[in-house]
Amino acid sequence: MKTNIILMGPPGAGKGTQAKLIIAAYKLPHISTGDMFREAMKNETPLGLKAKSYIDQGHLVPDDVTIGIVEERLNQDDCKGGFLLDGFPRTIPQAEALDKMMEKMHRSIDLVIDVETPKEELIRRISGRRVCKACGAPYHVDTMKPKVDGVCDICGGELIQRKDDNVSALTTRLEHYEHETKPLLDYYANKGNLVTVDGSKEKDDLFLDVSSLIRGE
Ligand code: AP5
């Protein structure tokens, strides 16, 4: 089984949705830089206040800040048996920093899953997305509705729209993806650990594909 895993893909590709299924099935710690920043923003910590000025407008949080929080998290005990990185790395300097972290830990990334989803589908997904205010679980007003309107199936929390899920911030996020994150596909293809999956599939069908990759089938 692959245990040191990166989930990549543009905003709205379905990374968070697949991550929830992966961590439930394979008991890996979920390291989502987006979730970490949102938690810090909710608690109004110095990190949260700094991140908010970038995130709400769709910009990337500076590399030094992002690399620091990931390094600290990867050094925690629960990551010893593996981890699922979701939304990190997003720039070449972040990928190079991650390589150095892996080297120090005498480990390596053994699978990079790129969730490839067409742009018009990303826009449809982001504009209809609702997330649980308490646990962050994602829903969609048309395709992934909760059992009770406005209420999270998992924890009963309130469903809200993310502040960066608007047309202006999404345009900026997609531009950052094109220019800064997409070059990572070549970076990992050259290392031989990149696999692309079809993100336009229904979530449970996509999870079957993702599961086969994790099990190394
Ligand atoms: P982050 O939280 O990582 O946001 P993102 O990459 O823009 O990704 P999203 O969370 O928008 O989408 P997703 O791919 O997880 O899709 P989801 O599963 O929710 O980052 C937020 C911000 O933090 C960044 O913009 C940046 O500012 C900052 N940041 C984070 N990491 C950083 C880093 N490394 N460096 C610098 N800055 C960083 O699904 C989307 C919708 O589609 C949902 O409604 C869902 O229900 C629906 N859906 C999902 N799968 C399917 C399916 N198969 N079929 C139909 N609908 C589906």
Tens-place pLDDT, residues 38-88: 999 999 999 999 999 999 999 999 999 999 999 999 999 999 999 999 999
Per-residue model confidence as pLDDT tens digits over 99-133: 999 999 999 999 999 999 999 999 999 999 999 99
Return the pLDDT at 217: 87
Return the pLDDT at 25: 97
* 66, 129, 177, 210, best to mutate for ligand 1 pocket (most atoms within 8 Å of CB): 129
Q: Is residue 153 part of a domain?
A: no
Return the pLDDT at 81: 94
Alpha-carbon dihedral 150, 154, 160, 166, rounded to 10 degrees: -120
92/197 Cα distance (integer angstroms) = 22
Q: Is residue 155 part of a domain?
A: no
Q: CB within 6 Å of ligand 1 — which residues?
A: 9, 11-17, 33-34, 37, 54-55, 58-61, 66, 87-88, 90, 94, 125, 128-129, 138-140, 143-144, 164, 173, 201-203, 206
How much is the pTM?
Answer: 0.95
Q: Is residue 175 part of a domain?
A: yes
Return the pLDDT at 97: 98
What CATH number has the domain bearing residue 12?
3.40.50.300
Q: Is residue 128 part of a domain?
A: no
> Among the atoms of ligand 1, which is closest to the Cα of residue 86?
3
Domain that holds residue 114: 4-118+168-214
Q: Is residue 142 part of a domain?
A: no
Per-residue model confidence as pLDDT tens digits over 78-99: 999 999 999 999 999 999 999 9
Instruction: Give the pair of three-digit tokens for residue 208.
Output: 């079957």
| Cα 15 to ligand 1 centre (Å) | 6
Per-residue model confidence as pLDDT tens digits over 184-213: 999 999 999 999 999 999 999 999 999 999
DSSP 106: T
Task: Report how far apart, in Å, the C-alpha atoms of 64 and of each of 8, 60, 69, 94, 159 are.
Answer: 20, 11, 9, 8, 32
Return the pLDDT at 104: 96
Average pLDDT, the chain: 96
Q: Are 89 and 112 in contact (CB under 8 A)?
A: no
Q: Is residue 8 part of a domain?
A: yes
Number of independent structural domains in the chain = 1
Average pLDDT on 133-160 reads 94
142 has a pLDDT exceeding 90: yes
Q: Is residue 133 part of a domain?
A: no
Q: Is residue 150 part of a domain?
A: no
